[in-house]
Structure 1
Amino acid sequence: MATTLRDVAQHARVSVKTVSNVINDYPHVSDDVRRRVREAVRALGYRPNLAARTLRTGRTGLLALVVADVEAPGLHGLAREVVRAATSQGFRVVIEPHGPDAWPSARAGGPPGVDAVLLATDVAAPGVLDARLGAGTPLVLLGESSGDPRCDRVALDGVRAAADATEHLLHTGRRRIAAIGARPGAATGHAQPHTLGYQRAVHRAGLDLPAGYLRTTSQHRYEDGYRAAHRLFAHEQRPDAVFCYSDRLAIGALRAAADAGLRVPADVAVIGIGDSAEGRYSRPTLTSVSADPAFLARTAVALAVARLDRPDAPPARIIAPHTILPRESSHPSG
């Protein structure tokens, strides 16, 4: 038998009306009561009656988490936290892949039947942002510091994260630091945040790096990291460290180093971004920049829910904290 509002109310020792108020995120509920109700919702596995909610409020109770790659490292942790945060607010989550065939009609506004979209990719399909925003559906950009200024965003500070990663390599004694993951054209056009952070850290250290140390990739696949690192390791002035814009690129670079007969970290240090499970179990283990997925998820869901109630509020931009997780791939040289 399905759990009812009354079951949740009895478990939390509150009225059915109070449970309804918490689930629908109404104000004027104390923090203690709100916490008790949300704990009861999780403990009992309560799921709102979406059909009844839609008739009453015009909302479906569904949030869409749109991702660039359903197999991307770190996605499972982020998705788990998004589901947890959404459930505590009385919503369910559907996961949508992003790509040219994922949303058949941008004019239709993307995935149908959802109250809000969390977009966990920095490149949207043509027309998707305009269609969603034009339809009045809340759209939160998640995980990147760049993006459309019309949208709410919760983001890693890409410039600061890249600078911190590069400075970590500098502090371990490396001086020939290459980077992998810039978008094609980024070296001559408007640089993306990771490129800016890398370049600023290098310049602050007074280093004049050889041409070709900033490697572009069309995607962030393992093979992209491998190919870029393979070229770097054949460079006349081989780098002694590589900063990769994602853990996938970094893991590809680790394999390229092994194939080139290089020891990591004795000959070359490697750092990525993402704190993926693959990096934690690679050999050597991968040093990585980690954002807090729980913070990203809680904040993104809160922004989406707030936008439902205040559609005309100015777009919010919230920076997520990050930390360097030193592991075997960047032990100090010498």
Structure 2
Amino acid sequence: MASTLKDVAQLADVSVKTVSNVVNGYPHVSPEVRRRVETAVAHLGYRPNVFARTLRTGRTGVLALVLPGADVPYPHDLAREVVRAAAGRGYRVVIEQVGPDDERPAPSLGAARPLPVDGVLVSAPVAPTELVEALTVAGRSVVLVGGEVRDGRCDRVSVDVAQAAEDATTHLLRAGRRRIAAIGAYPRESADGYHRALRRAGLAAVPGQRLPASRHRRADGYRAARALLAQPDRPDAIFCYSDPLAIGAMRAAFDAGLRVPVDVAVIGIGDIEEGRYSRPTLSTVAVDTGFLAGEAVARLTARIDQPGAAIARVTVPHSVLPRESTGPAVR
């Protein structure tokens, strides 16, 4: 016969309400009481009746995380940290991957086939208007995570991408570079920071040396860098709006017979693992993914508890990590 909350309460010598608080992840329980309850739960093999809890509270205890498709490497770290942060608040996480903007986005989260979740975290580079609209219509609590996508209906937890771009470009300037090109898939805010750094140094972007990329893939960075490096007055540095673009740009330099960083310096954003082991290692702008995930989950659970609260914008810190692809900075 299955154990009940009452059985756990009797064994742990606490109230049924206290057991419920521990099982549902409420923080205001003393460590000693939590230990007794968790020991009793393990001893009895108690499993919460999720269906009954959903009927009683109207909540499932499940969050959804929407990520880009498998050709973008950085979401794996984000997914791991979101699962960890959600577990600390008593939630489980389901993950949906979506393709580029021209593919149908996450149909199971929309109004037509609603997945039973309490709220949705959306990696902002893959947050097309249609997806946010579908989630809003379905009454979902939504938080955008990272990137440059803005939507007045949703909370957003993100690095200051304009400042990150300015800091990356400033690093190249301090390394003695003056013909700095840029490659990006989401250029608005990043472009602002890039131009701001150049203006402060008394420089202007060279026409034709800021190229768009359709996505944040290595192949897109490769194609754009090949075009830049074939120009008569080729750049001596390339700022890429993501690390995968920068990895592609470094390969393009190699194929053009150029040396990184001697002939052209390269920097990205994201601090993906590949960049730490590439040759040369990739300079990048890094964000603490664990902190980002924790803030995003905290914001989403707060939104679930108070759906009518004011929209929040949370900015997380970042830092420039100089590595071999830009050479030593000039002080």
Question: Is 1:232 aligned with 2:228?
Answer: yes
Count of residues in correspondence between the two structures: 323
Aligned partners of 1:73 and 1:247 also within 8 Å: no
1:251 corresponds to? 247
Letter in 1 for 2:211: R
Displacement of 1:62 in angstroms is 1.1
Deviations 1:255-281 (A, max 9, x none): 001101111111111100110011111
2:299 corresponds to? 303
Question: Is 1:175 aligned with 2:178?
Answer: yes
Aligned partners of 1:73 and 1:274 also within 8 Å: no
Query: Between Structure 1 and Structure 2, whose CA radius of gyration is higher?
Result: 2
Letter in 2 for 1:66: V
Question: Is 1:114 aligned with 2:110?
Answer: no
1:75 corresponds to? 75
Distance 1:83 1:171 in 2: 39
Question: Is 1:204 aligned with 2:200?
Answer: yes
Letter in 2 for 1:199: H
Question: Is 1:95 aligned with 2:91?
Answer: no
- In terms of mean alpha carbon deviation, does 108-117 or 290-299 score higher? 108-117
Question: Is 1:195 aligned with 2:198?
Answer: no
Letter in 2 for 1:226: Y
Aligned partners of 2:145 and 2:157 also within 8 Å: yes
1:187 corresponds to? none
What SS does structure 2 have at the residue aligned with 1:128? helix
Question: Which consecutive unaligned segments of at least 5 residues does structure 1 have?
Answer: 184-190
What SS does structure 2 have at the residue aligned with 1:226? helix
Displacement of 1:134 in angstroms is 2.7
Is the alpha carbon distance of 1:264 and 1:15 closer, same or farther for their aligned partners in structure 2, counting shifts above 3 Å?
farther
Distance 2:70 2:5 in 1: 34
Aligned partners of 1:169 and 1:241 also within 8 Å: yes
What SS does structure 2 have at the residue aligned with 1:108? coil
Deviations 1:221-246 (A, max 9, x none): 11100010011111111111110000
Displacement of 1:323 in angstroms is 0.8
1:20 corresponds to? 20
Aligned partners of 1:240 and 1:269 also within 8 Å: yes
1:218 corresponds to? 214
Displacement of 1:23 in angstroms is 4.9
Letter in 1 for 2:115: P
Question: Which consecutive unaligned segments of at least 5 residues does structure 2 have?
Answer: none
Distance 1:110 1:301 in 2: 24
Aligned partners of 1:23 and 1:89 also within 8 Å: no
Distance 1:46 1:329 in 2: 54
Is the alpha carbon distance of 1:88 and 1:227 closer, same or farther for their aligned partners in structure 2, counting shifts above 3 Å?
same
Is the alpha carbon distance of 1:97 and 1:131 closer, same or farther for their aligned partners in structure 2, counting shifts above 3 Å?
same
Is the alpha carbon distance of 1:168 and 1:113 closer, same or farther for their aligned partners in structure 2, counting shifts above 3 Å?
same
The percent identity for this pair of structures is 57
Letter in 2 for 1:55: L
1:278 corresponds to? 274
Equivalent position to 1:326, from 292, 299, 322: 322
Letter in 2 for 1:21: N
Is the alpha carbon distance of 1:308 and 1:121 closer, same or farther for their aligned partners in structure 2, counting shifts above 3 Å?
same
2:132 corresponds to? 129
Letter in 2 for 1:75: P
Question: Is 1:147 aligned with 2:145?
Answer: no
Distance 1:11 1:258 in 2: 67
1:65 corresponds to? 65
Letter in 2 for 1:92: R
Distance 2:148 2:11 in 1: 41
Aligned partners of 1:82 and 1:297 also within 8 Å: yes
- In terms of mean alpha carbon deviation, does 114-123 or 67-76 score higher? 67-76
Is the alpha carbon distance of 1:126 and 1:319 closer, same or farther for their aligned partners in structure 2, counting shifts above 3 Å?
closer
Displacement of 1:127 in angstroms is 2.8
1:188 corresponds to? none
Is the alpha carbon distance of 1:101 and 1:135 closer, same or farther for their aligned partners in structure 2, counting shifts above 3 Å?
closer
Aligned partners of 2:109 and 2:115 also within 8 Å: no
Distance 2:319 2:3 in 1: 40
Displacement of 1:47 in angstroms is 7.4
Distance 2:325 2:222 in 1: 16
What SS does structure 2 have at the residue aligned with 1:223? helix
Distance 2:221 2:258 in 1: 16
Displacement of 1:108 in angstroms is 1.4
Letter in 2 for 1:134: V
Distance 1:171 1:223 in 2: 28
Is the alpha carbon distance of 1:83 and 1:267 closer, same or farther for their aligned partners in structure 2, counting shifts above 3 Å?
same
Is the alpha carbon distance of 1:327 and 1:333 closer, same or farther for their aligned partners in structure 2, counting shifts above 3 Å?
closer
